[in-house]
Amino acid sequence: MTHNPKPYRTAPRDPATVPAGIPVEDTACTSRTGQRRAPGTTTHHAAVDTRPHILVVHRWRDEHALYENYIDHTTHRVTYVTTELGWSSLPPAAAGVVEVTATDDFGQVGAAAATLTALFGAPDRVVALNEGDLDTAAGLRARLGLPGQSPKDLARFRDKLVMCETVSAAGVRTPAFADAPDAAAVRAFADSHGWPVIVKPRRGTASRGVLRIDSPAGLSALDELPGEDRLVQEFCADRIYHIDGLWSGGRLGPWRASRYVNSCADFTTGAVLGSAEEDDPQLLDALGEFTASIAGALSAEPWVFHLEVFVGTGPDGRPNLHFLEAGYRVGGAEIPFVWREVHGIDLMAAAVDVQLGRRPTLAEPKTWRTGGWLLVPTPVPAPCRVIAAEPLTELVDGPYAQVVPPAGYVVPRTGGYEHVGARFRFRSLCTREVESAIAKAAAEFRLECTAVS
C-alpha cells in the first residue's frame, strides 16, 4: 500500500490557535484538521475540573505515536506543544494545542507550557517520545517540579560520554573512548589508540556532526564545526546493528535485532539507509545476553530502548560484540511502524507508560515475522521540491507500505528521518528475503528534486 494521506496533508493555520506565552481564560483551540471549535469548548475550569493534565511535546507529522490509544483523552486533559508540521497527527480530542517553531527550543516550549498551565492548571506529567525532545521534557519536569525523568537521570542516555562510562563500568565491552574538548585531546587519543578515530557530539542525534578523522592532517576539520561538547572513539569496522525493545527492569521484554543496510553516517552523505531484522539464532542468543547487560547497566527501572552495537566475529568464530550507543526511546525511521504492522506491538505505548509512571507490559507474538525498512535521501539538500517520484507498486516482493512524496511537494529541512526523499517498509519470513527486497527497492526507485532557495 502507499502510505501518503497523513504525511502530505498540511493543516491550515487558524486564528484560534493559542499563541505561546499568552494567558487565556477561554479559547477555541483548533483540531488537527485546522477547523475552529465552538467557543467555550476548551474553557479553563481549574476549580472544578480535577482530571489529570498531561502535557505532550510532539513533533511528528506522520502517526509515529497514537496518543489516543495510550492516554484516555476523556478522563485526562491532554494538551500538546507541537510544530506546524506536527498538526496533522494531533488527536481530535486534544484539550489544547500551542504551536512553536521547534520543540527542542526550551524557551519556546517553556512559554507554551506556561500558556497551557494558565488554561488547564499545572500538568501532572510531561510526555515526549522523540529523542530530540527528551531534554526539553526533562527540563520542563525540573522547572515544574514534576515526577518523571530529570535532566540528571537523562544524562546517561543523552550524553554519550556519560553513557559510555556507565556501561563500561558495568563490564560492557565498548571501543575505547574519551572526552574531546579540543583537537589536542583528539590527537592524544589517536596517539594511544591509532587512526582513524570517530569524533561526534556528546548530545547529538541522527548522526549529526559525526566525523571520521583518518590522520593528524584531518584535525583541521574540527575547526569548522560549531562549538559543543564532543566525544572521541576508537574506530570499529565491524557491522552495526540496532536493537529495539523493552527492558522490564529485571529482564528483556519483546526485542528485535536488525542489521543496518549502510550506516546512519552514510545517509548524511547521500546513501540509502535501511535495516533487516536478524534471524540467525546463534547471533540472536549472543545479542540477547549483550542487550540485557546494557539495558540493566543503564537502568534498574523499565525503559524502552534503541541500542546500536558493533557485531564482528571473534577468533573462535563466535560473535564479537561492542557497545556503540543507547537511546531512551523507541527507534526512529520506520521502526515504530514495523513493530506495529509486522509484529502487532506498539513500543510507543510502553514508552508512554514509562513516562506516566505506569508499569509497561507488552505481549510477545507467538511467531515472529521478519521486518525491515528503507529510507531514500533527497538527491539535493532540503528544502527541495519534488519533480518526479513513482511509488514502487509493480515491484515483485516490494514494500508493503511506502511514503512517497507527490510531484510539487516541498521536502522541509528538518532533522531526523521522517522528512526524507521516500520511506519504505518490508516484511517476509526471513532476513535474506527482506534484505533482497530492500536492495531491489533501492535500485528501482527514482526520485527527482530541485533545490528551493
In the chain, ranges of CATH 3.30.1490.20 domains: 176-234
CATH code given to domain 1-148: 3.40.50.20
Yes or no: say if 32 and 89 are a contact pair by the CB < 8 Å rule: yes
Beta strands in 96-229 (DSSP E): 96-99, 125-128, 177-179, 197-201, 211-213
In the chain, ranges of CATH 3.40.50.20 domains: 1-148
pLDDT per residue rounded down to tens, the chain (453 residues): 554 434 433 232 332 344 444 333 333 343 333 333 332 233 344 446 899 999 999 999 999 999 999 999 999 999 999 999 999 999 999 999 999 999 999 999 999 999 999 999 999 999 999 999 999 999 999 999 999 999 999 999 999 999 999 999 999 999 999 999 999 999 999 999 999 999 999 998 877 889 999 999 999 999 988 889 999 999 999 999 999 999 999 999 999 999 999 999 899 889 999 999 999 999 999 999 999 999 999 999 999 999 999 999 999 999 999 999 999 999 999 999 999 999 999 999 999 999 999 999 999 999 999 999 999 999 999 999 999 999 998 888 899 999 999 999 999 999 889 999 999 999 999 999 999 999 999 999 999 999 998
Instruction: State the pLDDT at residue 20.
Output: 44
| Continuous H helices in 202-343 | 264-267, 281-298, 335-343
Instruction: State the pLDDT at residue 2.
Output: 52
Give which of 422, 426, 386, 421 is closest to 407, Cα–Cα: 386
pLDDT in tens, 91-128: 999 999 999 999 999 999 999 999 999 999 999 999 99
Instruction: State the pLDDT at residue 38.
Output: 32
In the chain, ranges of CATH 3.30.470.20 domains: 239-451
- b/e for 195-225, b at 16 or more Cβ within 10 A? eebbbbbbbbbbbeebbebeeeebbeeeeee
Yes or no: say if 197 and 189 are a contact pair by the CB < 8 Å rule: yes
At 378, list the grid cell. 533527497
According to CATH, the topology of domain 176-234 is Dna Ligase; domain 1 (3.30.1490)
74 by DSSP, 3-state: which? coil
The pTM (predicted TM-score) of the whole model is: 0.89
CA–CA gap between residue 56 and residue 81 (Å, rounded): 6
332 DSSP 8-state letter: S
Q: What's the CA angle centered on 98, arms 453 and 120, to 5 degrees?
A: 175
CATH code given to domain 239-451: 3.30.470.20
Instruction: State the pLDDT at residue 49.
Output: 86
Q: Residue holding cell 513513482?
A: 390
Yes or no: say if 139 and 153 are a contact pair by the CB < 8 Å rule: no
Instruction: State the pLDDT at residue 157.
Output: 97
Instruction: State the pLDDT at residue 453.
Output: 84
CA–CA gap between residue 118 and residue 21 (Å, rounded): 9
Q: Can you state the percent helix, strand and coil of the chain, rounding each to 5?
A: 30, 25, 45
Instruction: State the pLDDT at residue 22.
Output: 38
Instruction: State the pLDDT at residue 204.
Output: 82
117 by DSSP, 3-state: which? helix
Instruction: State the pLDDT at residue 1.
Output: 55
Strand 77-82 and strand 96-99: the pairing is parallel
pLDDT in tens, 127-155: 999 999 999 999 999 999 999 999 999 99
